[in-house]
Amino acid sequence: MNENEIRAIFLEELGNVAPEMDLATLAPNADLREALDIDSMDFLNLATAVHHRLGVDIPELDYPKLVTLDSALRYLSGRLK
């Protein structure tokens, strides 16, 4: 799976968690929780959905690696290799 496919899946699941937000305007280095006004339960739902879609185990200790779009894509790409 390439980075564009990972990005598309991550953004799709992010859109499911925050459907009212325009993800096209999301800065790659913005804190997702602040930029999208999502709470910890929304973030947990995002991590769970990404886990199911990509088959990547995301331990709770790694959640800080999913704070921004860029860091999430780096983390997920690394886990899929």
For residue range 6-53, list pLDDT tens digits in order: 999 999 999 999 999 999 999 999 999 999 999 999 999 999 999 999
The CATH number of whichever domain residue 33 belongs to comes to 1.10.1200.10
- 81 — pLDDT class (breaks 50, 70, 90): confident
- Report the pLDDT value the prediction gives residue 12, as an integer from 0 to 100: 97
Task: Say how many domains are in the chain.
Answer: 1
DSSP class per residue in 12-73 = HHHHHHSTTS-GGG--TTS-HHHHHT--HHHHHHHHHHHHHHH-----GGGGGGGSSHHHHH
Does the pTM exceed 0.85?
yes
Residue 32's domain spans which residues? Answer: 3-80
